Structure 1
């Protein structure tokens, strides 16, 4: 894998990874795990909806924190598919996860698999696949459908390609009837794109300093 396809990082306060390419941190500087629980788990009514065979998909794998938060609450077999253009190195992921002991405590099987180059692995009840490459190409070619989406690209202002109309249409096309999506952003163009993709969109209170976030149900 060429260097141009891997994540280039700086570290804020020695603990929070910041993507050089997008000048944006990978998770909340307040508490990334609690933000994940508020935005992606509660935003998709999880774990209440989890059942055997439930499929969660994600745009933006990053440190794997969202996956780990899901693994902490999944008590039945669940599939998890994530799309990531610029994968982080295993050592950098481990360093970032040290800020979240609860998530780090279950991360070793993931980190061992990741360090070996594996992008399909088992983590507790989760059967995980991380699809590398530009989601604008890889998602339309995907043959799966998700019951819930974690839309977790970098800030739309800094990473607009992961929030464009065509990609949101692909998200909608790969969502089961009454499937859901959740994202930390309330940007108007993102909400409009998701609405055009077939989601009934609602703006709800965000986490921490973020006043609003977005959730949707596929019609």
Structure 2
């Protein structure tokens, strides 16, 4: 397993938004994978604390059931825990046998915790022996666009990860922002003007729904 030299030696230090995601090469349940393998597609990298645990199992069921939705957005899923690939394989088989759900995405076997440390997934306050629940959204250029950490007892919302992914893609395509609780198909926020003259023009712009010069929305038809 290889972790980029820029992050080696900085255990527990998370990467930063809008900077290149830490590089990695690791063994997975589908063979060796590296960050470069996902170039040109979005990647959702997510960690769990341990195989054969109930909350993690519920999350893997939810990710697996939503995989087609991620595929439709040009996004790949990649799981991670500090368990071995053998434990991962046994867990995947158990999920198929007991729940009737096939886990089709790879899971990184990070027994040496190299990827987990590079991504800041090891939090001593939660556990110094396993990765916390973390989710990283990496864009097709390998840039880290979002990261979220979750408490050990509480499973994450896969619908929210999908919503965020769609929001990021919408912002990238159209140069807009999305308001709180935005859902695909709803109005988006137009960037505010940067000069007094532009602010006055914005107030008179009938092409937007303008509440004030700095707050205007529009509907995008994809």
**If the length of structure 1 is used for normalisation, what is the TM-score?**
0.27
**Structure 1 or 2: larger strand share?**
1
Largest Rg, 1 or 2? 2
**If the length of structure 2 is used for normalisation, what is the TM-score?**
0.27
